[in-house]
Amino acid sequence: MVRYVGVDNMIRLVETLGVEPFLVGLADYIEADFRRWTAFEKVSRIASHSRDGVIELMPASDGALYTFKYVNGHPKNIRSGLQTVTAFGVLSDVATGYPTLLSEMTITTALRTAATSALAARYLARPDAASMAIIGLGAQSEFQALAFKALLGIRDLRVFDIDPAATAKFRGNLAGYGFSIASAASAEEAVLGADIITTVTADKLNATILTDNMVGAGVHINAVGGDCPGKTELHPDILLRADVFVEFPEQTRIEGEIQQMAPDFPVTELWRVITGEAPGRHAPEQITLFDSVGFATEDFSALRYVSDRVAGTDFFDEIDLVAEPDDPRDLFGLIARHPGTAPMMSAAGAR
Amino acid sequence: MVRYVGVDNMIRLVETLGVEPFLVGLADYIEADFRRWTAFEKVSRIASHSRDGVIELMPASDGALYTFKYVNGHPKNIRSGLQTVTAFGVLSDVATGYPTLLSEMTITTALRTAATSALAARYLARPDAASMAIIGLGAQSEFQALAFKALLGIRDLRVFDIDPAATAKFRGNLAGYGFSIASAASAEEAVLGADIITTVTADKLNATILTDNMVGAGVHINAVGGDCPGKTELHPDILLRADVFVEFPEQTRIEGEIQQMAPDFPVTELWRVITGEAPGRHAPEQITLFDSVGFATEDFSALRYVSDRVAGTDFFDEIDLVAEPDDPRDLFGLIARHPGTAPMMSAAGAR
């Protein structure tokens, strides 16, 4: 049997652990896997593009465990009451090829994206960073806020969304979490004086959420929203002034903010900063930019985390996803031996 | 909610329809999709190789539906009572990116592989073919036998396996299905005079199940067992005498019998034969060879077939694989609004 963590069980798991402790624990797993980056088999995600969106498969393996995530991105979904992004994933045993865990990953992806952003910022933002602007208050925004609070202690938020209802939703969801939230009338106003700028808009193609004049010295930019070909949030001039950090360059050059730049535009891999091989922030006035697109190893870490967290709990069901014949060479026997079936039934040919 | 067809429900579905009618219906779907081959987005499967096996993802899309299959191949599994091949798959709506069906595919893959073999043989074997040799009586063998009976009326079988227990299993499982089964003492004896030769051995690397002298004029060879790099069943001289038909050349040249040949070794795509664009069998003495490796469009057809067959039945469960917030921008609200949770719980920080 395969363990199945559906949406209801994932909600119970997150609530039982607490969102912030969940994010801290998840970030630990992500960081541990970034530290052993070279142990992973890594490929860019396999995308199937259509008029209205994209469906992607994101496999990763460390030689002992294999994972993949299925994730879609359909900006138009929101108009019909559906989510832009849904996801699920599977954890498997490399030695046997058998899947051992199937999990929802819509909620998990939101958590792992936020945990990765905050993890990167812990290496890249100024140590004294105390305030964060968030531009775009959609499905990912509260998770980003809580991850930066849980990992960096950021409580001072300046937020903006073109839709006032999104701002109200954000405020309502985070009431009681101990934030000081200032609603700005514009993106310009939101970023003014912020130590960290998180851009996480959803449904714009090659938008310019941040222009060069909005970005002051010493800022860390957490660019989350631009994550597929033709979808960016930053004016290219910002990239020229910043030191840019990425997950997997091969993928980010296609999907990230740096898709606007030349193929040899210099970037630093985040794992090299985490292992100490490459410098992260080296000066207070430096502008750092995490060009987040989301990489398969983060989903590997997330599935590993979920698997460990549900072990010994009742936060999963068991499902019969894999056939288990008594004799592995006798798959057909599952049908023939099933109670109540005589082989002649098949020969009758009724359809 | 997503429809889930687990192993138990798949067994019930196959038994209710009957194995042979199921195979005939499935072959119709596979044939229909081969007919509109150019409508598909096609990629070779994405393989993750390890010491003991391989895990593969096989996506396909026709622009309206998207499917992928997860499948492993671990020959050593059999020694520890596990199956060489297990699989599951998902059917999604391209317009929204939402998955709509999750299905076991261990049994389904066995059925679709057999249905595809018989479908190919309907175009490639001599019209008067009445007998088939089967070399290798593992998990796939009964399905092959029943598909050739259901689609071509083949009832005369000559079978061989190096393990007498496999032969006994095969005979036992097919008792009552109306076959005449001769057990041969060797592969040579089995193929003698057979109109169709099916090779479906499992755990040999670059074995030579068939040598050139074993293959007479007019035979159709259904080469199923060789299906990954380093795994073949036929002596290359056979390929030089035969007209070779394949599913997706880019994949077959890596995985099929033709991996032994030059990159420009001539092959004919099966879909071209089915649409009438290319000749199949044109003479009684011609040797035809279907170099089967299994392609993603066949799994697409299988998932489409299963989806249609379970509609209106109770042969599926509904599972909460996709989060469904009331407001799609309010994913976080699923956690915050869940009964019994106060936001401050998270802030407490217990872990």
Tell me how close the Cα of B33 comes to any Cα of chain A, in angstroms: 18
Judge whether B233 is closer than 8 Å to chain A, CB to CB. Answer: no
| Residues A94, A332 contacting (CB under 8 angstroms) | no
| pLDDT at B267 (0 to 100) | 98
Cβ contact, residue pair A110, B342, below 8 Å: no
Nearest residue in A to B4, CA atom: A321
**pLDDT tens digit string along B301-319?**
999 999 999 999 999 999 9
| pLDDT at A225 (0 to 100) | 84
**pLDDT tens digit string along B109-122?**
999 999 999 999 99
- Residue ranges covered by each domain of chain B: 2-107+298-319, 117-295
pLDDT cut 90: percent of chain B above it: 84
Size of interface A-B (CB pairs under 8 A): 303
Q: Is the pLDDT of residue A102 over 50?
A: yes
Cβ contact, residue pair A57, B53, below 8 Å: no
Grouping H, G, I as helix, E, B as strand and the rest as coil, residue A5 is: strand
Residue B86: closest CA among B99, B63, B105: B105
Grouping H, G, I as helix, E, B as strand and the rest as coil, residue A84 is: coil
B2-107+298-319 CATH pick, 3.40.50.150, 3.20.20.70, 3.40.50.11890, 3.30.1780.10? 3.30.1780.10
Q: How far apart (Å, rounded) are the C-alpha atoms in residues B107 and B103?
A: 10
Section A143-157 average pLDDT: 98
Interface test with A, best of B4, B29, B346 (most A CBs within 10 A): B346
Residues of B in contact with A324 (CB under 8 A): 7
Cβ contact, residue pair A68, B57, below 8 Å: yes
Name the B residues in 22-81 with CB < 8 Å from any A CB: 24-25, 41, 43, 46, 48, 50, 52-55, 57, 59, 61, 63, 66, 68, 70, 72-74, 77-78, 80-81
Name the A residues in 138-157 with CB < 8 Å from any B CB: 138-143, 146
Cβ contact, residue pair B77, A55, below 8 Å: no
Q: How far apart (Å, rounded) are the C-alpha atoms in residues A261 and A254?
A: 10
Q: Is the pLDDT of residue A342 over 80?
A: no
Class for the domain spanning A117-294: alpha beta
**pLDDT tens digit string along B335-344?**
875 444 444 3
| pLDDT at B343 (0 to 100) | 42
Q: Which amino acid is at B291?
A: D
Question: Which of B52, B80, B177 shows the shortest C-beta gap to A346?
Answer: B177
Cβ contact, residue pair A21, B346, below 8 Å: yes
**How far, CA to CA in Å, does A156 sit from each of A29, A161, B118?**
27, 17, 67
| pLDDT at A197 (0 to 100) | 97
Question: Which of B55, B94, B104 shows the shortest C-beta gap to A92?
Answer: B55
Question: Which of A139, A323, A336 shows the shortest C-beta gap to B7?
Answer: A323
Q: How far apart (Å, rounded) are the C-alpha atoms in residues A259 and A249?
A: 10
| pLDDT at B204 (0 to 100) | 61
**pLDDT tens digit string along A38-78?**
999 998 889 999 998 999 999 999 999 999 999 999 989 98
Q: Is the pLDDT of residue B83 over 60?
A: yes
| pLDDT at B148 (0 to 100) | 98
pLDDT mean across residues, chain A: 92
When mean pLDDT is compared across A159-163, B76-80, B200-204, B219-223, the lowest value belongs to B200-204
Residue A320: closest CA among A9, A103, A11, A102: A102
The phi, psi pair for A232, rounded to 5°, reads -135, 165
Q: How far apart (Å, rounded) are the C-alpha atoms in residues A170 and A157?
A: 11
Judge whether B169 is closer than 8 Å to chain A, CB to CB. Answer: yes
Residue B137: closest CA among B182, B177, B176: B182
- Here the tokens at position A212 are 């060069």
DSSP string across A122-159:
HHHS-TT--EEEEE--STTHHHHHHHHHHHH---EEEE
Q: Which residue has the higher pLDDT, A108 or A207?
A: A108
DSSP string across A235-280:
-HHHHHHSEEEES-HHHHHHHSGGGGS-TT---EEHHHHHHTSS--
Cβ contact, residue pair A332, B139, below 8 Å: yes
Cβ contact, residue pair A73, B97, below 8 Å: yes
Section A141-147 average pLDDT: 97
Nearest residue in B to A81, CA atom: B328
Section A244-254 average pLDDT: 95
Residues of B in contact with A8 (CB under 8 A): 320
| Residues B9, B316 contacting (CB under 8 angstroms) | yes
Q: For the structural domain made of B117-295, what CATH number should be given? A: 3.40.50.720
Q: How far apart (Å, rounded) are the C-alpha atoms in residues A269 and B210?
A: 51
Q: Is the pLDDT of residue B346 over 60?
A: no
| pLDDT at B100 (0 to 100) | 98
Name the B residues in 284-323 with CB < 8 Å from any A CB: 319-323
Q: Is the pLDDT of residue A351 over 90?
A: no
pLDDT cut 90: percent of chain A above it: 85
Residues of A in contact with B43 (CB under 8 A): 46
| Residues A106, A73 contacting (CB under 8 angstroms) | no
- Report DSSP state, residue A207: -
Nearest residue in A to B138, CA atom: A329
**How far, CA to CA in Å, does A323 sit from each of A104, B6, B202?**
22, 9, 18
A230 band by pLDDT with thresholds 50, 70 and 90: confident
Q: Is the pLDDT of residue A349 over 50?
A: no
Tell me how close the Cα of B153 comes to any Cα of chain A, in angstroms: 12
**How far, CA to CA in Å, does A68 sit from each of A57, A103, A302?**
7, 11, 11
Tell me how close the Cα of B81 comes to any Cα of chain A, in angstroms: 6
A203 band by pLDDT with thresholds 50, 70 and 90: low
Tell me how close the Cα of B256 comes to any Cα of chain A, in angstroms: 21
Cβ contact, residue pair A14, B335, below 8 Å: yes
Residue B7: closest CA among B317, B296, B298, B300: B317
Active site residues per annotation of A = 227
